[in-house]
Amino acid sequence: MYALGSDAEAAISDAIGSYYAFAGDEYAQYGISIAYTEPEQITAAITASTRSAVTN
């Protein structure tokens, strides 16, 4: 999951926190912590995925 902009962290927290609330706070917090909130993170993920697809 990702969100960009000045309220990215709040958007992620709202979306993931409520979606995974059934699984418990620890699980929801983990999801929030690994979500992308910077363009560079998204670019790196796309690049890694592209490289994986080409080499496999």
> What's the average model confidence in pLDDT over 44-54?
86
Check: pTM over 0.85? Answer yes or no.
no
Distance, in Å, from the CA atom of 14 to the CA atom of 8, rounded to the nearest integer, reads 10
* Domain tally, the chain: 1
Averaged over 11-26, what is the pLDDT?
Answer: 92
* Residue 36 covered by a domain: yes
> How does the average pLDDT of the chain come out, rounded?
91
Residue 35 forms part of a structural domain: yes
48 lies in some domain: yes
- Asked if residue 2 belongs to a domain, the reply is no
pLDDT at residue 50 is higher than 60: yes
Instruction: Kindly state whether residue 14 falls inside one of the protein's structural domains.
Output: yes
With respect to residue 32, please indicate whether it lies within any of the assigned structural domains: yes
The domain containing residue 15 runs over which residues? 8-55
* More confidently predicted of 26 and 51: 26
Residue 3 within any structural domain of the chain: no
Residue 1 lies in a domain: no
